[in-house]
Amino acid sequence: MSGITSSISAAGNALDVLQQALSVIQNNIDNASTPGYASQQLNLEAMPMDVAAGLVGGVMADGLDDSRDQYAEEAVQSQTQALGFYTAQAQNTGAIQNFFDVTGATGVSASLSALFQSFSAWSATPDDPTAQQNVLAAANTVAQSFNGLANSLTQTAQQMDGQIGSTVQQINSIAAQIQQYNVQRLKSPQTDPGSEAQLYSALDNLSQLTNFTTVTQSDGTVTVLLAGGSPLVVGTQQNVLSSNVSVDSQPKPVYAQSLPTAHVLDAQGNDITSEITSGQLGGLLDSRNQVLAGILGDSQQQGTLNQLAQGMADTVNQILASGTVSTAAGAASGTALFTYDNSNPATVASTLALNTAITPDQLAAVDASGNSNGNANALAALEDPTGKQGVIGGMSYIEYFGQIAANAGQQNQTATANEQTQQQVAAQATTLRDQVSGVSLDQEASAVLQFQQAYQATAQVLTVLDNLGEDLMNLIVPT
């Protein structure tokens, strides 16, 4: 009778275990679309069976096992970081590119062409007040074009600064989620599939924003380090990041009043900008501190747009200043056509202006040799890159501006192409991870059928044992 009782106990325990297995499957199905969730499986262990020794066999639950593959997770995070970088880079270089009219029909290029045309018309009739006034009007338009482009790019830099600050705050928010996971992990050493899903979902979100590495400690907590080693989360400690804009002091600034540079700081105020090389934050910093700085300048470079504005203004002013307003003896010397803040070469484009002191009759058409339209001809020739003047890097002013615009376009085109390629790579990495650790509804459905059949069979065994026990009891004759 004791053997039947033990068998009934073993069968009942088996039913409990099978019910647990079915509950795990149900949990998998419920979380099939939960971000960061890895499918779970109940480990089953067969109990020893030795009738002589009173061991009736059966099955017992031996904990949960999940299908998460750490290498697959890290591959997805790495590819997502690269995708975030190219996406941010494509978006922001696209915003920069939009300020350049590659057709030359508007903007700086068109205004320079109009100025050179006004010089050419003035050279034909150097004493014509209308031609002189047209030169001043064209020069004013050039200055306004440079001002408008510089201001637009500066505003774009400020918008990027806001995006950088917002992205840093998102990073801090995600880091706080990971820190809370660590707190709970220390309170409950047992792995919880739901909490782990939230952790990996947070890591996926973080990988969109910046580059990092993770280390799982022996106590189950997760340490998150930026690529350069700066700690973001260590155990229950979160190191909050911040951002600011300032002119770099190291190395010593060449242009102290230039466009400030965007910086990311750790919790101790140390500059860790150089460690952010991927993710959306990396793409933002690259567009802000490299692409825009190349055009507008920073502490170490004047910026191509400022170089163009200063080169053009200085050349025009020098030509005019070298001549006189007429061929008469004692005629007044020429007056500068442009002014700008010459104390700050990194702001020439934004401060360029028509000289308010010049009047049409102060335009010096006569050159130093006494040619009545020598200066006017020299100014008209600035459009020709084969001349000795009006050239930057072997290019005319218009060609040089075209090169600035082309570079902006090329950077955007490259970033966009990289983004499209990286989207496919990241998608492949995600697909491979999901194949390893994702929930397959087909597999879960198959497992449900298997466990249901096992449950039904065990229940039938239990019924048979119960009936057998009753029969044995009925055979016992009361004394």
The 10s digit of each residue's pLDDT in 89-135 is 999 999 999 999 878 889 999 999 999 999 999 999 999 999 999 99
Task: Show the DSSP H helices in 210-340 as ranges.
Answer: 279-286, 293-296, 304-321
Please tell me which residue, 359 or 467, carries the higher pLDDT value. 359
Query: Quick one: 391 and 326 in the same domain?
Result: yes
Q: Is 323 helix (H, G, I), strand (E, B) or coil?
A: coil
Q: For residue range 6-51, what is the model confidence (pLDDT) as tens digits?
A: 566 666 666 666 666 666 666 657 666 666 566 656 666 666 755 5
pLDDT, position 435: 81
Asked if residue 20 is part of any domain, the answer here is: yes
Average pLDDT value over all residues in the chain: 86
Q: What is the mean pLDDT of residues 138-154?
A: 97
pLDDT, position 242: 97
- Domain residue limits at 51: 2-67+439-475
Asked if residue 297 is part of any domain, the answer here is: no
Asked if residue 274 is part of any domain, the answer here is: no
- Contact in structure between 272 and 264 (CB atoms under 8 Å): yes
Given pLDDT bands bounded at 50, 70 and 90, which one contains residue 273?
A: very high
Domain-terminating residue out of 375, 400, 425: 400
Q: For residue range 202-219, what is the model confidence (pLDDT) as tens digits?
A: 999 999 999 999 999 999
Q: What CA–CA distances, in Å, run from 374 to 37, 324, 364, 380, 381?
A: 79, 10, 9, 10, 11
Q: For residue range 80-96, what is the model confidence (pLDDT) as tens digits?
A: 999 999 999 999 999 99
pLDDT for residue 1 is more than 90: no
CA 97, 103, 108, 109 dihedral sign is: positive
Q: For residue range 167-204, what is the model confidence (pLDDT) as tens digits?
A: 999 999 999 999 999 999 999 877 777 888 899 999 99
- Whole-number percent of the chain with pLDDT over 90: 61
Q: What is the mean pLDDT of residues 433-459?
A: 67
Q: What is the mean pLDDT of residues 241-246?
A: 96
Query: Quick one: 453 and 381 in the same domain?
Result: no
Query: Quick one: 369 and 454 in the same domain?
Result: no
Asked if residue 374 is part of any domain, the answer here is: yes
Question: What is the pTM assigned to this prediction?
Answer: 0.84
d(CA 266, CA 323): 58
Asked if residue 60 is part of any domain, the answer here is: yes
Query: Quick one: 306 and 394 in the same domain?
Result: yes
d(CA 288, CA 370): 50
CA 458, 463, 464, 469 dihedral sign is: positive
Domain-terminating residue out of 339, 374, 400: 400
Which contacts qualify for 390-395: CB closer than 8 Å, 24 or more apart?
Answer: 390/312, 390/315, 392/307, 392/308, 392/311
Query: Quick one: 388 and 443 in the same domain?
Result: no
Query: Quick one: 60 and 119 in the same domain?
Result: no
Query: Quick one: 46 and 115 in the same domain?
Result: no
Q: What is the mean pLDDT of residues 367-386?
A: 88
d(CA 473, CA 479): 14
Query: Quick one: 393 and 446 in the same domain?
Result: no
pLDDT for residue 244 is more than 80: yes
Domain-terminating residue out of 400, 428, 448: 400
Q: How many domains does one find in the chain? A: 2
Query: Quick one: 46 and 111 in the same domain?
Result: no
d(CA 303, CA 149): 13
Q: What is the DSSP string of 223-251?
A: EEEETTS-EEEETTEE---EEEEE---SS
pLDDT for residue 297 is more than 50: yes
Joined together, the tokens standing for residue 94 give 């696209």
Q: For residue range 403-418, what is the model confidence (pLDDT) as tens digits?
A: 999 999 999 999 999 9
d(CA 45, CA 36): 28
Asked if residue 351 is part of any domain, the answer here is: yes
Query: Quick one: 396 and 443 in the same domain?
Result: no
Asked if residue 376 is part of any domain, the answer here is: yes
**Phi and psi torsions of 242, nearest 5°:** -145, 170
Please tell me which residue, 86 or 327, carries the higher pLDDT value. 86
Q: Which residue has the tokens 């930026």?
A: 226
Instruction: Say which residues have a Cβ less than 8 Å from residue 45's Cβ, sequence separation at least 6.
Output: 59, 60, 61, 62
pLDDT for residue 479 is more than 60: no
d(CA 184, CA 388): 73
